[in-house]
Amino acid sequence: MIELENVGKSFDTEESSIEAVRDVNLKIERGEVYGIIGFSGAGKSTLVRCINLLERPTTGKVVVDGVELTGLPERELRRTRKKIGMIFQQFNLFASRTVAQNIAYPLKYSGLSRKRIADRTRELLNLVGLEDKERAYPSQLSGGQKQRVAIARALANDPGILLCDEATSSLDPQTTLSILRLLKDLNVKLGITIVVITHEMQVVKEICDRVAVMENGCIVEEGDVFSVFADPKRQITRDFIDTTSNLSKIHALIASDSPITRLRPGECIVRLKYLEKNVSEALVSTISRQFNINANIIFGDIEFLGDAPIGGLILIVSGRGEDIDGAIAWLKNKNVGVEVISDARGAA
């Protein structure tokens, strides 16, 4: 378990002091995949470095598995770091060492024999699916393969925690997905706790159990991924959702007077958002039948977070004014978020 208590980190420059992380309190449970999302400059990279003390916090305490790292002498701290793996956006492999030598690097003073180190290296290569690259140099590998080597190297000493600093940010979407799957696999197989730093919503959606949203050095929202993204409290969280959702495109379409958004009198455009995990009910059919209105789906964007759908639909509904009101009330009662985006009912 990782506990951060009132962690703050400021950097002193010639003229001023920059607070990169402010008063962060976090608890990351053993075995979970925890995401920290924020735009660049939010302080998330500094925050993750505070966990293994690559950056020493200016204030606060860092406790990992009951040991207060901020109170350890340098030597002890180094020993503890062997049990906290870390991977980076730029992979940071040793260019002068082969894949096998890179992976064996952290095993040098572990007391293992040469033979055991070779066995362990091969085992790790298998784990990340690079059995045939043992003798290759990093420069001969693709980005995804480099990150796999970095993961193998980070896991060499059987750490209980893996810190990922923008680990997929320099990879193409397909490779990103394969690395995320690998991470999730390792999480399940080895029970390793994973902390993921990212600015990509997709990463969080794909593998995280819980998420913290970071802005200006502070954690502004935190919780399990579904509740944070189904019902965002902060503008920045909504901004992140918008980065992967089509639903906000409707505003652009209306602004450009797209034909599909032109309303006839009596019609209105509404946005439905799923706020709860069970959307098994036939919402659209029910409102059409029960309230005698027409609902035309313009577009929808529904994704799955774990096994729960998140997202919504944009509809053009037409019918009698009070029937539409009734339908909206019924939907709200079903805990569906309803927002009337444009309304031509009074235009008749």
Partner 1 sequence: MQEALRKFLDYLDLLIPNVTSKWPVFFRSIEETLTMVGIAGGIAFVLGLALGVIVTVTKKGGVMERSVVYHTLDKLVNFFRSIPFIILLAGLIPLTRWIVGSAIGVRGAIVPLVFGTVPFFTRQIEAALAEVDRGVVEAAQSMGSGPLEIVFRVYLKESVGAITRGTTITAINLIGLSAMAGAVGAGGLGDFAIRYGHQRNQLDVTYVTVLTLVLIVNVIQVFGNFIAKTHSHQ
Please give the structure tokens belonging to residue 255: 């602004």
CB of 257 to partner 1, least distance (A): 49
Nearer to partner 1, 52 or 193 (CB): 52
On whether the CB atoms of residues 177 and 206 are closer than 8 A, the answer is yes
Q: Min. distance of Cβ 150 from partner 1 in angstroms?
A: 8
Q: Which stretch binds partner 1 (CB under 8 A): 153-161, 216-224, 270-278, 296-304?
A: 153-161
30 vs 78 by CB, closer to partner 1: 78
* Ranges assigned E (strand) in 89-192: 161-165
The token pair at 48 is 């993750």
Please tell me the distance from the alpha carbon of residue 22 to that of residue 299, in angstroms, as a whole number. 41
Closest distance between partner 1 and the C-beta of residue 15, in Å?
16
Distance CA 293, CA 302 (A): 23
- CA–CA dist 90, 80 (Å, integer): 24
With CB under 8 A as the contact rule, the residue among 81, 146, 199, 345 that binds partner 1 is: 81
* Packing angle, helices 173-190 and 143-155, rounded to 10: 20
Closest distance to partner 1 from the beta carbon of 163 (Å) = 8
Of 146, 130, 142, 138, the residue nearest 87 (C-alpha)? 146
User: Which residue among 10, 23, 72, 97 contacts partner 1 (CB under 8 A)?
Assistant: 97
Residue 333's alpha-carbon distances to 74, 85, 162, 188, in angstroms, are 58, 47, 43, 38
Q: How far is the CB of 253 from partner 1 (least distance, A)?
A: 43
- The amino acid at residue 71 is G
| Residues of this chain, 128-147, that bind partner 1 according to CB under 8 A | 137-139
Determine if 94 is a binding residue for partner 1 (CB under 8 A): yes
Q: Out of 105, 116, 142, 188, which residue is the one contacting partner 1 (CB under 8 A)?
A: 105
Query: Binding of partner 1 at residue 154 (CB under 8 A)?
Result: yes
Least distance between partner 1 and beta carbon 168 (Å): 16
Within residues 47-66, the interface with partner 1 by CB under 8 A covers 52, 54
In total, the chain counts a number of residues equal to: 348
**CB-wise, 82 or 273, nearer to partner 1?**
82
Q: Residue 281: exposed, middle, or buried by beta-carbon count in 10 A (0-12, 13-18, 19+)?
A: exposed
What residues make contact with partner 1 under the rule CB under 8 A? 52, 54, 74-75, 78-82, 84-86, 88, 90, 92-97, 105-106, 108-109, 137-139, 150, 153-154, 156-157, 163
